[in-house]
Amino acid sequence: MPLPIIAEGFAKGLSAIPYAYTVLKFAPWLLLIYALKMYFGGKSNRSERVMHSKVVMITGGTSGVGAIVARELAQRGAQIVLLTQHELTDFFLVEFIMQMRADTNNELITAEQVDLASLHSIRKFATKWIDNAPPRRLDMIVLCGNTMTPASGKATTTEDGLESNWGINYIANFHLLSILSPALRVQPPDRDVRIIFGSCSSYMGGSLAHVPVPETPKEGAKASKKSKTAAVARPISKGPAFSPSIAYATSKFALITFANAFQKHLDAYQRPDKAPMNARVINVDPGWTRTPGMRRYLTVGSLWGLLAYVVMWPFWWLVLKSPDQGAQSFLFAAMEAEIRQGEGGKLVKECRLVPIMRSEVTDENLQQALWQETEKTIEALETEGAIRRAGKKEERQPMGTVTEELDAEKAAEETQRDVRRPGSRKSKKAAASTVK
């Protein structure tokens, strides 16, 4: 069909072809739009890996980039465990899982309720996961859970009183991985275990100036009293004045710093079988993507902002990636074979390894100070949360009833020590003592 039309144009001129001048007028613009779309869309993942029988835990896997990553890994046969804030009986969650099972032809898709805005919820899930003998299989953790305060929004807090960006983007991931760390370290040496952090290029604008870093004493000199006490000068939960963009950037800067420290934490573990550590930490920057969080940020959380977003939709469609395009770097980090070689703590962007632009990320003093202060913050907040929950329970019931219930719980716990669920450590000890 095109050849006769082209021949007609050469023989009789362009005027013989209908709408020829119109097509030639708009063709360069269409080609330009296509070229820009290909540029902003980024690269596609070309790596593949056998994912059958592998257990993958994903936060933020019910929307945006996380949902695409979960779907793609499920299509390749992986067992997916979605960590979601929804109740397990929630209609949306049930429909989402059933639809994903049908689309991927994979029935090994389940969910666990974990609210990243609650330290207590994270601890309940993580301790339940690791309290098992033999240890559960865990091949990969993908941290896509994320929040972003609208551009002109005010600061919000988590259930524990932390600023939302700091609490969900950083503290929640720290808390989850610090508890799941034993489950990662005991995986057999032949498994390729990966922990994938969802990062962002905004980390370059983050600041951890509110983290008290002790001064490194000069060689041969004793540490001054000031340097010894500087590490506990200010609690990490009290950062600089709130700004949506800076708060988000700071949380991502802290997360990528923790990711590098967590790789060192894993590498420092001496396995009983003397095999090398097989867990790798990988940071991923998916680029600017049209996710619900990005839309909420751009619309500043208002109806007028949503109207402006709709009017400017062609522009956002052009310069922002789709969730499928944003997921490509995550899939590369999950399946690229070369990443398992060498040191961890790498940054993947546009399906290739790139250097981390902030040198402070590899500063061991900053990593140590951040780790220690985060642990102190979590310990203090969990203590306050436990007291608060106990107080609410006392308000609902008379003191005598609460005391009786506590005594009953202690008695039940004492009884349960001897009869644990099959397969747990304590049930095996109980069984051994009974045999003796």
Paired tokens of 302: 């208002």
Q: Cα(first)–Cα(last) distance of the chain, in Å?
A: 88
Average pLDDT (307-313) is: 91
What percent of the chain lies above the pLDDT cut of 70? 77
pLDDT digits (tens, 9 = 90+) for 161-185: 999 999 999 999 999 999 999 999 9
Give pLDDT tens digits for 117-133.
999 999 999 999 998 87
- Span 55-382: which CATH code? 3.40.50.720
- The whole-angstrom separation of Cα 415 and Cα 412 is 5
Distance CA 206, CA 260 (A): 16
In DSSP notation, 149-170 reads --TTPPP-B-TTS-BHIIIIII
CB atoms within 10 A of CB 376: 14
* Average pLDDT of the residues of the chain: 82
Ordered DSSP codes for 281-314 = EEEEE--SB--HHHHHHHTTTSHHHHHHHHHTHH
Catalytic residue among 12, 225, 238, 252: 252
CA angle 178, 181, 185 (to 5 degrees): 160
Evaluate if residue 318 carries a pLDDT over 80.
yes
Length of the chain: 436
16 against 205, higher pLDDT: 205
In whole angstroms, give the CA distance from residue 99 to residue 114.
21
The pLDDT, as a whole number, for residue 5 is 62
Residue 215 has pLDDT above 80, yes or no: no
Please give the full DSSP string across 366-415, using - where no structure is assigned: HHHHHHHHHHHHHHHHHHHHHHHHHHHHHHHS-HHHHHHHHHHHHHHHHH
Mean pLDDT of 246-275: 92
Query: pLDDT band at residue 433, thresholds of 50, 70 and 90?
Result: very low
Q: Is 321 a catalytic residue?
A: no
Please report, as a single letter, which amino acid is at residue 413.
E
pLDDT over 90 percentage in the chain? 48
How sure is the predictor about 149, in pLDDT bands with cuts at 50, 70 and 90? confident
Higher pLDDT, 254 or 20: 254
Q: pLDDT tens digit string along 365-408?
A: 999 999 999 999 999 999 998 888 888 776 766 655 555 655 66
Output the pLDDT for position 114: 95
Query: Could you tell me if 72 and 140 are in contact, meaning their C-beta atoms sit under 8 angstroms apart?
Result: no
